[in-house]
Amino acid sequence: MKLAPILVLSFCQASLAGTIITAPEAAPMTSGGFENARRPISNPTLFDLALPTTNIHPIVMYQRLPDAVNTTLGQLPMGGDVQVYALQFEIAFNERLSLVATKDGYVDINPDTQPLWSDESGFANLGAGLKYAFIYDPATSTALSGTVTFEFPTGNHDVFQGEGDGAANVIVSGLKLWDDFQVAGAAGLHLPFDGQMATTSFVSAHASYEVSRWFIPLVEVNWHHVLEAGNGRSNFFSQAGGAVPVVAAFEGADLLNFGASNASQNRDFVTAAVGFRSRVSDSVDLGFAYEVPLTSEEDGIMKDRFTVDLVWSF
């Protein structure tokens, strides 16, 4: 009876001789999460990242004005540039809800054709609200959020701000990442609280690919559409004697709202932007974009635009 255990043990030792026992093979790693998500650059007051995060976002914009613009009086000469210096911020209460400050800053208008247009500078309106992520799925790197912001008429009339009773922006934003490739989009409505300013909509799209942390090229497209023109009341008297809302045949897209009664003549303004982001640290990245209109530049106030920004997340 005692020989049986000895025989079994000897058999096991013989069977295992020369055999190397290894740990079970680990499952292949799969990418996920939002660690490499990057914010769009163009259309910055409306086109935001779908993720609620905490960040500070300074922006500098240099926009060249068209040599001439279309009006009900025919083409009027313009030229010059607009410079914008802004500071956005966002505070996340949790992974789904954040407070966003989307519009503020200082506007400096420098037209070439004086005295028809005059050099003016002043503060922009203030805008802020809340963002909520209805879909927040790090496993598939997918997010869908809704944002409601309110714009208050606190800005300076000399730079086409501070008119009307304010407005609300209602926006839906989406985000999807596949490893180094990212797509994002947003669509929304700008809804004034009175009939003085124009009611508008927008659609924006973004695609980028992380070649390296220092070079993340991107392309973006923005479509602004006038749903209902403003009342065309004479206003902003430091520019063209207050006639801009009366004779302009277009609206100011993302920067300005003239309240032009003839904006229905050119309801659509479309731009394309190319640029890149550079991740200088885990919490800071820099961005640059060059933007041009795809519609007629005479039916808007953009000949081209250069945007530089920084996103500091913490």
Rounded distance between C-alpha atoms, residue 186 and residue 183, angstroms: 11
pTM: 0.87
Amino acid 32: pLDDT:
62
Q: To the nearest 10°, the Cα dihedral for 295, 300, 306, 311?
A: -100
Count of residues in the chain: 314
How many Cβ atoms sit within 10 Å of the Cβ of residue 204? 25
Write down the pLDDT at residue 16.
40
What pLDDT score does 278 carry? 98
Mean pLDDT of 134-157: 97
| pLDDT of 98 higher than 60 | yes
**Mean pLDDT calculated for residue range 80-98:** 97
Q: Is the pLDDT of residue 9 over 60?
A: no
Helices and strands, counts by H and E, the chain: 2, 16
Query: Average pLDDT, stretch 105-124?
Result: 94
Element containing residue 205 per DSSP (H, E): strand 199-209
Domains detected in the chain = 55-313 (2.40.160.40)
Segment 233-287, tens digit of pLDDT: 999 999 999 999 999 999 999 889 999 999 999 999 999 999 999 999 999 999 9
What is the pairing mode between strands 68-71 and 55-64? Answer: unpaired
Give the residue with greater pLDDT, 121 vs 16: 121
At residue 210 the predicted structure's pLDDT band, cuts being 50, 70 and 90, is very high
Cα first-last separation, the chain: 72
Q: How far apart are the C-alpha atoms of 245 and 248, rounded to whole Å? A: 6
Indicate whether 3 pLDDT > 50: no
DSSP code of 255? T
* Mean pLDDT of all residues in 298-305: 96
257-272: b (≥16 Cβ within 10 Å) or e = bbbbbbbebbbebebe
What pLDDT digit, counting tens, does each position of 36-81 carry? 999 999 999 999 999 999 999 999 999 999 999 999 999 999 999 9
Q: How far is CA 260 from CA 68, 127, 233, in A?
A: 17, 22, 8
d(CA 102, CA 86): 9
